[in-house]
Amino acid sequence: MPTEKGADRGECVLDDRKLAVLRAIVEDYVSTNEPVGSKALVDRHNLDVSPATIRNDMAVLEEQGYIVQPHTSAGRIPTDKGYRLFVDRLSAIRPFSSAERRAIETFLAGAYDLDDVVMRTVRLLAQLTRQVAVVQYPSLSKSAIRHVELVPLTETRLLLVLITDTGRVEQRVVELPASYDEDSVTQLRAVLNACLDGRQLPDVASIVAELPERVEPRERANAAAVFSVILETLVARHDEKIVVGGASNLTAADFSRGLREVLEALEEQVVLMRLLGELDDQAVVTVKIGAENDVFGLRSTSVVAAGYGSADRPLAKLGVVGPTRMDYPTAMGAVRAVARYTGQILAES
């Protein structure tokens, strides 16, 4: 009797029907936003057993922590643990129809620079999922330098512009200790481009460290200022940039009073970075449910996210944030599809 043996473990002993019940509860609750009772279940899904049977199953599911009732004599709603099981074993990513895919593709294809790609992506994702969308700019640490430019501003000031192969353009003002002449700037620019062009950003630090040798001694002070700004730019917290969109979707799913916390969390780039940073890099789409996000203010939300970029070269992450009561299959489908196409678009340019 394997069932009895497993009984004290308390897990994994859910038979097929109980799983079906859980799935049904999740689906119904997600679509109606109301606790679902045994009666409603049997006739909406065609489980051919009586409500009483379902009730027994539900009692077990509740005992094991997959569902709860908000108050006695109400239906059940899934717990974080219940959603987790649902996502892991009871559902599949909803694939998008070819029409939808084409729509996504054409919408993104119209973009003409990196900012535009990111903006369109965030809008698209928010619209497809009716949730808040979060898109990270291609990570600097995954990019290579494509060009370095120095633009004279004043006697002792240069504008340093770093262009990466992912289309990011970083700019910084450099204050020089001394004035410079045209030639020295031209020379420095040439050195920089010669040495840095095509290099991965994480490698740049060590390369820059050796550059001073290649500059004429009397120019070293100025050059050093430029070099240090380059290094700063690469390590700055400014490093990773995140865009959020679709915040108005939060009002639909009534967070009642948690809304403030959620909005605040979404405005903190740092918090979002941590959120995305915790994701599994391997999986196609990762889902974090409720309290699994140990980020204050987002404990009552779920995050569905994926990395984007070509397969061999993940660039950054994007995803959606919404109530735990979320249509996971669709959200996962949307995130996966958008990640794919965004990655594709960026790979082309």
- Give the binding site for a copy of itself (CB under 8 A): 112-114, 116, 146-147, 149, 151, 153, 157, 159, 161, 163, 167, 169-173, 238, 245-248, 250-252, 259-260, 263-264, 267, 349
CA angle 277, 279, 280 (to 5 degrees): 130
> Residue 194 interacts with DNA (CB under 7 A)?
no
CA distance 299 to 289: 8
Kindly report each contact of residues 6-9 with a partner whose C-beta sits within 8 Å and lies 24 or more positions away, as own/partner.
none
Q: Which of 59, 173, 178, 221 binds DNA (CB under 7 A)?
A: 59
CA distance 120 to 111: 7
> Residue 319 interacts with DNA (CB under 7 A)?
no
Query: Using CB under 7 A, which residues numbered 19 to 58 contact DNA?
Result: 34-40, 48-53, 55-56, 58
Nearer to a copy of itself, 65 or 198 (CB): 198
> What SS3 class is residue 147?
strand
Q: Tell me the Cα Rg of the chain.
A: 26
CA distance 95 to 126: 17
Per-residue CA distances from 243 to 51, 136, 339 (Å): 47, 6, 15
**Owner of token pair 């605040």:** 264
Query: From DNA, a copy of itself, none, which one binds at residue 40 (CB under 5 to 8 Å depending on kind)?
Result: DNA
Nearest approach, Cβ of residue 98 and a copy of itself (Å): 27
Nearer to DNA, 43 or 312 (CB): 43
Query: From a copy of itself, DNA, none, which one binds at residue 248 (CB under 5 to 8 Å depending on kind)?
Result: a copy of itself
Of residues 320, 347, 323, the one with CA closest to residue 125: 320
Nearest approach, Cβ of residue 147 and a copy of itself (Å): 4
Residues written for the chain? 349
Query: From DNA, a copy of itself, none, which one binds at residue 184 (CB under 5 to 8 Å depending on kind)?
Result: none
Q: Tell me 33's DSSP state.
A: -
Query: From a copy of itself, DNA, none, which one binds at residue 267 (CB under 5 to 8 Å depending on kind)?
Result: a copy of itself
Give the residues across from 200 on adjacent strands.
144
Nearest approach, Cβ of residue 35 and DNA (Å): 6
Nearer to DNA, 36 or 304 (CB): 36
> Residue 282 interacts with DNA (CB under 7 A)?
no
List interacting residues with DNA (CB under 7 A): 3, 17, 34-40, 48-53, 55-56, 58-59, 62, 69, 71-76
